[in-house]
């Protein structure tokens, strides 16, 4: 390479601080830009789908659904929506492979996942552990979003899952990874700014139910 070529060469792209060892996950080491790209480039169900569908889009669908809940005060709704957006973030460290192969592997995944969840929430300005009423809502919306995604991508129910949860009414349309990363990060910044200072408040229990271009979901007729 000549001197002139070296001078005109594009500078090396700065790499985000990618997540490291999940055993050492801590709030001060969480880099949300890196998490956005990892979630957007991680396919749901360990890639067992003909059409790419990212974990980042799954998080956006969850957040979009939680945001429509009725009977939740505005500040609590914003904080709960942020929890929903962050709920699948552990996949940036652990991937999205479905059920572990053994009880030992399942216990390790549970332990590491909980550690990551706490670190990510703290980094976003939330309490490390949401109230149980919120956690139950998040589990319900996660299962309903999964059912809707399987319905719209033509996937069978998970093996051994028993009765399927009712799917969300909104239709899901896969989006490109770069768009999913951009929207996830923008949503994070929006919700973090709104929810700042609200995490310390004690939320009231709530009961869990449009076309939303930000999630790739369309309202059912």
Which pTM value belongs to this model? 0.82
**130: containing domain:** 22-218
What lies within 8 Å, CB to CB, of 114 at 6+ separation is none
Does 198 have pLDDT greater than 80?
no
CB 63: neighbour CB atoms within 10 A? Answer: 26
| Confidence tier at 101 by pLDDT (50, 70, 90) | confident
| Confidence tier at 139 by pLDDT (50, 70, 90) | very high
Identify the CATH number of the domain in which residue 189 sits. Answer: 1.10.3210.10
Specify if 58 maps to a domain: yes
Does 78 have pLDDT greater than 70?
yes
Specify if 17 maps to a domain: no
CA distance 129 to 72: 19
Identify the weakest region by mean pLDDT among 2-11, 51-60, 201-210.
201-210
What lies within 8 Å, CB to CB, of 108 at 6+ separation is 100
- Express each pLDDT in 142-164 by its tens digit: 999 999 999 999 999 887 666 67
Specify if 2 maps to a domain: no
Specify if 6 maps to a domain: no
Show the beta-strand stretches assigned E in 50-123: none
Does 180 have pLDDT greater than 80?
yes
> Domain tally for the chain?
1
- Express each pLDDT in 79-93 by its tens digit: 999 999 999 999 999
Please give the pLDDT value at position 74.
Answer: 85
Specify if 66 maps to a domain: yes
The share of the chain scoring above pLDDT 90, in percent, equals 67
Please give the pLDDT value at position 79.
Answer: 95
Specify if 126 maps to a domain: yes
Specify if 15 maps to a domain: no
Contact 55, 96 (CB under 8 A): yes
- Express each pLDDT in 64-74 by its tens digit: 999 999 888 88
Mean pLDDT of 173-186: 98
Please give the pLDDT value at position 100.
Answer: 72
Please give the pLDDT value at position 218.
Answer: 62
Specify if 95 maps to a domain: yes
């Amino acid at each position: 390479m000549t001197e002139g070529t070296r001078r005109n060469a594009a500078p090396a792209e700065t790499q985000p601080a990618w997540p490291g060892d999940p055993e050492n996950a801590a709030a001060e080491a969480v880099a949300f830009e890196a998490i956005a790209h990892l979630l957007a480039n991680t396919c749901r169900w360990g890639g067992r789908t003909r059409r790419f569908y990212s974990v980042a889009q799954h998080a956006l669908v969850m957040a979009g659904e939680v945001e429509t809940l009725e009977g939740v005060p505005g500040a609590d709704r914003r904080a709960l929506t942020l929890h929903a957006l962050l709920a699948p973030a552990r996949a940036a460290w652990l991937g999205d492979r479905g059920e572990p192969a053994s009880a030992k592997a399942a216990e390790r995944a549970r332990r590491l996942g909980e550690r990551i969840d706490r670190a990510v929430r703290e980094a976003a300005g939330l309490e490390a552990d949401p109230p149980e009423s919120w956690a139950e809502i998040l589990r319900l919306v996660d299962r309903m979003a999964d059912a809707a995604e399987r319905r719209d991508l033509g996937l069978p129910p998970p093996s051994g899952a028993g009765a399927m949860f009712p799917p969300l009414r909104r239709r899901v349309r896969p989006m490109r990874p770069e768009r999913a990363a951009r929207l996830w990060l923008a949503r994070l910044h929006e919700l973090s700014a709104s929810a700042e200072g609200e995490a310390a408040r004690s939320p009231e229990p709530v009961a869990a139910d449009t076309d939303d271009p930000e999630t790739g979901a369309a309202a059912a007729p």
